[in-house]
Amino acid sequence: MSTAQRLDIAATDKSAYAPLIALEEYVHGGSLGEGLLALIKLRASQLNGCAFCLNMHAQEAREADVDQRKLDVLAGWSEAPDVYSDREQAALRLTEQVTPISGGVADDVWDAAAEVYSEQEMVELLMAISAINVWNRLAVSTHQHLG
């Protein structure tokens, strides 16, 4: 499989990303915080195999002062419950079920997230998870270069 970039979406259509930028503004304007958003974006990007997004969101996580240990063990976060808060664990568990949506979200995963997040925060979580999955799919599909 070739890794040459197939398409530069922004160069082809400058307005193509506008709806996604608006979604990002919504997500970052919410109450979840940059550290949690970075963890969500990193975990979804790991699941989707998106090197472009992993590179970007690892940097964002460092800028948000996410503990390096959290970044180091993120792929195995469920084996390190003492490293992540209850809220982080609930968000990561939800991310792992929303990302490959074919199986849906189990009731226990939804209920655990709903216990530590308000309804508004649940909306923000779902929008954040959905946004990174769109970005991942675009970057992976086009073989977007790291830059």
Q: What is the pLDDT along the chain (147 residues), one digit of tens a residue?
A: 677 999 999 999 999 999 999 999 999 999 999 999 999 999 999 999 999 999 999 999 999 999 999 999 999 999 999 999 999 999 999 999 999 989 899 999 999 999 999 999 999 999 999 999 999 999 999 999 887
Domain count, the chain: 1
pLDDT at 142: 95
**What CATH number does the domain containing 126 carry?**
1.20.1290.10
124 falls within a domain: yes
Q: Give yes or no for a contact between 83 and 73, defined as CB atoms under 8 angstroms apart.
A: yes
pLDDT at 25: 98
58 falls within a domain: yes
pLDDT at 69: 97
92 lies in which domain range? 32-141
Alpha carbon distance 131, 38 (integer Å): 12
